[in-house]
Amino acid sequence: MQSVFLPATECGSSDDVFIGADNEEKEVEDEVATPRTLRPRKLAPTVTKRDLTKQIREVVARRHHSLDEKLFLDEHCSLVKAVRARASSYSKLKQRSQEVFDDPVTLHAKCIDLAKALQTAKHAVVYTGAGISTAANIPDYRGTNGVWTRLKSGKDVNSCQNLVSAVPTFTHMCIEALVRHHIVQHVVSQNCDGLHVRSGVPSDKLSELHGNMFCEICPNCDATYYRLFDVTEHTALRRHSTGRTCDKCNEGLKDTIVHFGERSDARWPHNWESAESNAYDADLILCLGSSLKVLRSYKQLWLTERTKRNRPKLYIVNLQWTPKDSQATSKINGSVDEVMKIVMLYLSIVPAVY
């Protein structure tokens, strides 16, 4: 392109103007004047607290950490602390659910110590749980094959024996013998299977705190009826009418089962008055086959308001951890039948056969 210079007067300026570049300058001006279309900026995906916690859990689980992983953990130290605390709590719960067995020598020594304590006790009371009925093919609640454990694992819980045909176990008969020989003054049970009654423990020496599935009562005249069949067939939580009537006053009968979240004012078969008075007088408490996770909430059974030296001696026979282990005089990790066999042999008492 040929360049032509014009006089300044014709251009209206004292400066020279480069005419040949007009078109190029206009193109540049047009580009500046036209707004540029910007592409939408890609934002980093939002990391939820749940995803972050999962990442932290995976990193914490590794044995060795890279420099980047260490920096990552330092950056989220509060979440790391929470994740580790949760993992520790889960590990403790898992450990507590495991069954632990004392070796034969230790078990025998603990059983002899228990037998001697029973022999010298002035007022011994026995607390029993579902663990003493497992030999009757009645599952316990929190054991490795218990109802609660099986429900959590999605397993069938209906394969246990019909309770109507269940018979007292060796431990039931040992307890009856200890009561008969005045070595044990009272039995407090959280079982509803009625096996203590069948074993022969007198009703005034027994407190069935959660009821008896073979017992129905009249709320009007307090008449008590023990049946050979399960009276709870048509009852449930807050629905206790059995459909039968009292022979004395014709009032509708009710079952005696105490469900979670319920309380019962009925005297029998719960017999709370005797349970509390015997716990108050006790100088020895023997817990057999109970996780104590429910019984521990009944403060009147433990006399925790007393100083440690004035509380009764506490012996616990259970394969799993209980919340009372740290307070026990002795924790015996063995099956209740095996323990009672050694104890009865030392005491020279032969239990009756059902």
Residue list, annotated binding site for Zn(2+): 218, 221, 246, 249
Strands across the sheet containing 241-245: 224-226, 215-217, 252-255, 241-245
As given in the structure block, the two tokens for residue 298 are 């009944």
**C-alpha to C-alpha distance for 352 and 178, rounded to whole angstroms:** 11
Which H or E run contains 338?
helix 336-347
**Helix extents (H) in 190-264:** 195-199
Asked if 181 is an active-site residue, the reply is: no
Residue type, 57: R
Tell me which of 172, 186, 196, 210 is the catalytic residue.
210
Which H or E run contains 343?
helix 336-347
CB atoms near residue 34 (< 10 Å):
8
Residue type, 246: C
**C-alpha to C-alpha distance for 138 and 170, rounded to whole angstroms:** 14
Catalytic residue IDs:
210
